[in-house]
A and B are shown apart, each in its own frame.
Chain A
Amino acid sequence: MGVLSWLALIATLTVAAGFLRLCIMLTAPRPAKPSGRREAIETCSFAVFLGSGGHTSEALILVSALNFDRYVPRTYIISEGDTLSMQKAVELESAKAAEAPNPRYTFVVIPRARRVHQSLLTTPFTAALSLIAAVWHFTVGPLMARPPVPEVLLLNGPGTCFVLCVAAYMNKFLGLKSPKLIYIESFARVRQLSLSGKLLRPLVDRFVVQWPELVKDKRRDECRGWLV
């Protein structure tokens, strides 16, 4: 066999192994028990994507419910140019400073996967750029002793959050540390999942909806009533 045939064989095997790994990850039942038990005083690093507008409002309402002494440090991931979301997060942090006096939080800015009204033709390029930034933050950075990967990532849409999810998933695929992925569907979705909900549903560790009609598979979807 020539060198080329060997290379082709290796490439095929690699692709097949990768595919198999992905299939196992997607079909394996999720762990019945979540992460290992933690003591009440232990901390947990936390990240949330603020998807602007209503997504940001709902995400920050959810974050406001958390114990800020426990979930530190906090990372707010925002889209490029979304100063309003940044401002709202700072407002929440200062309001919460009363109960957790040493706020430890940072912002990470990711290029938008797709701008409103952007043509579908150019979307793959901006989405790729967005993915590179997310992979940089979740995979490459932590490997180079930059800030470690957060232990949990909260997502609630729209588009760019899919990119973050894919980047986090890549870590899982490579066997690296990856955040627990929690998706909360918007309170506004009563009968139909949003596009980001549909995309993220098979990938996340917890898929939570706020209206019981949206629970299609009790092993995968959960509803605990209104969370916002």
Chain B
Amino acid sequence: MHVFVTVGSTRFDALVQQVLSEPVLDVLYRRGYRTLDVQCGNSDFDASLLRRDADDHWQRAGDLETSIWRFKPSLKEDYERADLIISHAGSGTIIDVLRLKKPLIVIPNPTLLDNHQAELSDALAGLGHLRSSTVADLPQAIEGLDTSTLVPFPQFDGSRFRELLDEEMGYYDHSRETGARH
């Protein structure tokens, strides 16, 4: 089983450092994960125990085979390959991952000034679509994750916006006569 960690284009030192710590690596191994990829973005982390095999690319030998790198043009393949995704609270990442029906643990970055991102992950966690955790509680969150209890996220429904705009612009044939202002 494969786990993928992503911080998007942000910097989230604490999450990257925590993911590479013994408690997290141990619990991942115990839960059956054998490979780990970390997309670390602009984060700083302690690379002293890692082998650097290219610019912005590191490996870590051990029971859990680990690769760390900074950026890729698209993360879609990484999401698809993963059995579990651990991510920062960016809304784009959250939507992409949930639409692929992958189990997701979200860690909002507490150092962001305007931390509205936690709003979204808390709300979606409340609806059961994902788990929300903190950097410190990540090992427990992984330990306690039961993917069978996650609620599937609805697929994209383009008709809502299409009908809204059609109706506003006077195309009544495809619109419903509902909505707050009618």
**Residue ranges of A at the interface with B (Cβ–Cβ < 8 Å):** 30, 32, 34-38, 40, 42, 44, 53-54, 57-58, 61-62, 64-67, 70-71, 151-152, 154, 180, 182, 184, 186-192, 194, 205-206, 208, 211, 215, 218-219, 221-228
Interface size on B, residues (CB 8 A): 34
Known: A187-B120, A190-B120, A219-B181. A180 touches B91 (CB 8 A): no
Contact B180 A61 (CB under 8 A): no
Q: Tell me the minimal C-beta distance from B54 to chain A in angstroms.
A: 24
Q: How far does the alpha carbon of A70 sit from the alpha carbon of B165 in the complex, in Å?
A: 11
**Residue ranges of B at the interface with A (Cβ–Cβ < 8 Å):** 9, 90-92, 95, 116-117, 119-120, 122-123, 154, 156-162, 164-174, 179-182
Q: How far does the alpha carbon of A178 sit from the alpha carbon of B157 in the complex, in Å?
A: 29
Contact B119 A65 (CB under 8 A): no
The count of A-to-B residue pairs whose CB atoms sit within 8 angstroms is 103
Contact A187 B181 (CB under 8 A): no
Known: A54-B92, A186-B91, A188-B120. A218 touches B180 (CB 8 A): yes
Known: A32-B181, A227-B161. A188 touches B91 (CB 8 A): yes
Q: Tell me the minimal C-beta distance from B125 to chain A in angstroms.
A: 11
Contact A206 B169 (CB under 8 A): no
Q: Residue on A with the closest CB to B180?
A: A222
Contact A205 B168 (CB under 8 A): yes
Known: A57-B92, A226-B154, A228-B95. A182 touches B165 (CB 8 A): yes
Contacts A36-B170, A61-B156 known; 13 new A-B pairs at CB < 8 A: A38-B169, A58-B91, A186-B91, A188-B119, A189-B119, A191-B119, A192-B116, A205-B168, A222-B179, A223-B180, A224-B179, A226-B154, A228-B156
Q: Residue on B with the closest CB to A224?
A: B160
Most central of B92, B170, B181 by chain A CB within 10 Å: B181
Contact A180 B169 (CB under 8 A): yes
Contacts of B157 in A (CB 8 A): 226
Q: How far does the alpha carbon of A219 sit from the alpha carbon of B167 in the complex, in Å?
A: 17
Contact B117 A151 (CB under 8 A): no
Q: Can you report 20 A-B residue pairs in the complex whose CB atoms are below 8 A from each other?
A: A30-B181, A32-B181, A44-B169, A44-B171, A53-B9, A58-B91, A62-B161, A70-B171, A71-B165, A154-B165, A180-B168, A180-B169, A187-B91, A188-B91, A188-B120, A190-B119, A190-B120, A192-B116, A219-B181, A224-B164
Contact B116 A189 (CB under 8 A): yes
Contacts of B165 in A (CB 8 A): 66, 71, 152, 154, 182
